[in-house]
Amino acid sequence: MTVSSPEDSSQKLIDQFGRAVDYIRLSITDRCDFRCQYCMGEDMTFLPRDEVLSLEECARLVRIFVRLGVRKVRITGGEPLVRKNAMWLFDEIGHLQGLDELVLTTNGSQLGELAQPLKAAGVKRINISIDSLKPERFRQITRTGRLEQVLAGLEASIHAGFEGIKINTVLMRGINDDEAVDLVRFAIDKHIDISFIEEMPLGEVNHNRNNTQVSNTDTLKLLQSKFVLTPSAETTGGPAKYWRVADTQTKIGFISPHSHNFCESCNRVRITCKGELYLCLGQEDKIELMPLLRAHPDDDTPIILAIQDSMRIKPKGHDFDLMRAQPAVVRFMSHTGG
């Protein structure tokens, strides 16, 4: 396979605002065994297989991005672990030279069986989406999920010994916002971390996000009334701002696209399972990589040049406005990658 010259392949990805891109989020499937309200519709039409990147194409893209200075890769979906033979990809890229961190975002449903193999493959950290600790409410939010299955996956992950395990929670007013304190206490008890993510206006309107969106500013104030929190400069390479909970091993992250825009330090791009390179979660600018991958199976140079050129159109930031009648971006979170 032909690759670019050493000068080109070692060039860092720098956008027009001087931000270095060293983190990619790669979706390997649009399919999921859950139907979370803020992520996808109840009745979804999924992509045919030939419109989805093969696992070999996914591995090729990871290798190319690592050559271009990317040091962190997050595998997402849909639910990535429902992809047939997904473990092949983790085994293929988990110990890739130059890749500092292979991490995973998952709903946790498959971790009971796969936590240990994922650890052995080289996955360092796992984020597990848990939006409620109440079984019936959890099922209502996910539409199909079973809380006991996810909690069993969490326990298997703790036993496997990952470097980091974090719960991701989207609070929605009138739905699960009364569980913020309980979820933090749960994380403390399990000696893991938790992040609260403000709901983002993506996909079709299935409820009024202006009414349900919970500001992380309000969540922080609530938690400060219950716990002793100390601001932390720690980072996992993403947009979360962290606070340490005194006398515990737990830190609380806040990902706040509305209340505290984090775009000034954006270091990441997203690749959908269709091979679309999105330069921003909240904008429609993209580069189609699948046609290049398939037109040049033995030459990485055209793909490298397209990725480098895409840095010119990476926008300064997203444009989320909850007062809009329609969502800011008309694609589901499951399409872009969680």
Condensed to tens digits (0 to 9), the pLDDT of residues 116-146 reads 999 999 999 999 999 999 999 999 999 999 9
Count CB atoms within 10 A of the CB of residue 166: 23
The tokens for 247 are 């006398």
How would residue 157 be classed by pLDDT, with cut points 50, 70 and 90? very high
The tokens for 7 are 């000068």
Residue 42 lies in a domain: yes
pLDDT for residue 240? 84
How far is it, in rounded angstroms, from Cα 285 to Cα 117?
36
pLDDT for residue 319? 53
Residue 206 lies in a domain: yes
Contact 280, 313 (CB under 8 A): no
How would residue 285 be classed by pLDDT, with cut points 50, 70 and 90? confident
Residue 39 lies in a domain: yes
pLDDT for residue 6? 37
Distance of alpha carbon 234 from its chain centroid, rounded? 18
pLDDT for residue 1? 53
Domain count, the chain: 1
Question: Taking 50 as the threshold, does the pLDDT of residue 221 lie above it?
Answer: yes
Tokens 């990805």 — which residue?
13
Q: What is the pTM of this model?
A: 0.87
The tokens for 213 are 């969106």
pLDDT for residue 189? 98
Percent of the chain's residues with pLDDT above 90: 72
Question: What is the average pLDDT across 74-100?
Answer: 97
pLDDT for residue 152? 98
Count CB atoms within 10 A of the CB of residue 305: 13
Angle, in degrees to the nearest 10, between helices 216-224 and 180-190:
60
Contact 126, 168 (CB under 8 A): no
Residue 158 lies in a domain: yes
Which of 137-141, 173-177, 325-329 has the weakest average pLDDT? 325-329
Residue 12 lies in a domain: yes
- Angle CA 252–258–262, to nearest 5: 65
pLDDT for residue 12? 87
CATH number for the domain that contains residue 135: 3.20.20.70
Tokens 């959890």 — which residue?
138
The tokens for 171 are 């609070």
What domain range is 308 assigned to? 6-336
Strand 123-129 relative to strand 251-255, pairing: unpaired
Residue of 159, 167, 220 whose CA lies nearest to 192 = 167
Encode pLDDT of 35-46 as tens digits: 878 777 777 778
Residue 1 lies in a domain: no
